[in-house]
Structures are given as C-alpha cells and as structure tokens.
Amino acid sequence: MKKEDLFARLRNNTKVQYDMPEINVEGIKYKDTYAQFVNASKASGANVVEASDYNELNELITQLYPKAEVFASNLPYISLPGLNPDTVTQAAELNGTDVGVVEGTVGVAENACVWVPQTMREKAVCFISEYLVIVLKRSCIVNNMHEAYERINFDERYNFGTFISGPSKTADIEQALVFGAQAAKGVTVVVIDK
C-alpha cells in the first residue's frame, strides 16, 4: 500500500476531528544555568573553556590543539592557517581538517547541546573535522530545550542547523565505545563572557 493511499483511507474514515489541545510544559530550570551546562558538557565528553573576548581565540585554540596543522573556519575573528568552508569548491576538500571552528547560537544546560546553524557553504566542517571547536556566548546558554527552540534561527541562505553535544561516539561495534565514528572525536566549547 502506498503512503498516499493510506492517508486517503484515514481521511475518508475520520468521522470526528479534534483540535490539538494546548499543552503548557515548563521545562527544568537550574539555579546556576552555566554550571549545569559545564557539568553536562563534561558528562557528554566535551571540554568547556572560557575566553574573555574574541581576540584571544586564535591563541587559545592553538594552545588547545598544538599538533593541529589544518584548521577550517569562516568566522571573521579566526585567522588560523587552513581552509574556509565558504571558498572550497566541494566538501571533500575539507577532509583532513584537524580542527574545525564554528559558532553556536544557543547552548542548553539540561543536555549540553549547542545549536550550530549553518552559516557556511559547506556544513561538512561540522562533521568531517577531527576536532570541533564551538564558540558560544555565555549569555546564549538557556536552561532547557523548550527555551532553546524559542531562540533557534536559521540562516536564510542555507536553512539548516544541528544540535551538537560532545564528540561523536558509538558502541554498536562489538559493544566497544568508539569516538569519532560519525563526526568529530573531540569537541571543545569556548564560552565567551560577553
């Protein structure tokens, strides 16, 4: 049976329709949202470091990843040697990126997720980099997913974004925990105090 046929049969046999009820759900609130975000991030396997402003990011990232040779970012305040996901001709050129640097717009204290909207032509930088650095303003950290969804915005050019919470990991293969199977094997969230 085709999907369209199934939906047609459902519509034809629906006798009474009901409006969706309004449900007011109040998500969890934390006394110290930032401390909860840090703890949840560490539990997910991510590192959280602080920076006072954007000017110190280049030096901070090179200190965090001293062996990295290829960086990828389109952020105007990142001037590390490497690739720009806006100027590569195809996503495959980002393969071999040691550290990708992106910007998050919402951090969630309850589960350490950070909303990363696509603001670059090749979003592969979020998934193909060996390590990922997410820059996040401290003022953008909220308590829960309910608050996060109210703040999510898409870049009109790309209309895509994703929540990232810690490094990629799986235990599907012989029940052994493997990091970096589908994306970055390490994530650092740099929280800017501004």
Residue 70 forms part of a structural domain: yes
Looking at 14-18, 59-63, 121-125, which range is the least confident one?
A: 14-18
- Rounded CA-CA distance 110/142 in Å is 9
**By the 8 A CB rule, do 83 and 94 touch?**
yes
Residue 20 forms part of a structural domain: no
Residue indicated by tokens 């799986």: 170
How high is the pLDDT of residue 173? 65
For residues 146-175, one letter each, b for 16 or more C-beta atoms within 10 angstroms of the residue's C-beta and e for the rest, the string is ebbeeeeeeeeeeeebebbbbbbeeeeeee
Structure tokens at 19: 């409006």
Higher pLDDT, 17 or 88: 88
Mean pLDDT of 102-109: 97
| Residue 109, domain CATH | 3.40.50.10420
- The domain tally of the chain equals 1
Residue 166 forms part of a structural domain: yes
Residue 183 forms part of a structural domain: yes
Q: Which domain covers residue 187, as residue numbers?
A: 26-192
Whole-prediction pTM value? Answer: 0.83
Q: Which tens digits make up the pLDDT trace of 140-192?
A: 999 999 999 999 988 788 889 999 988 766 666 677 666 656 668 889 999 99
How high is the pLDDT of residue 141? 98
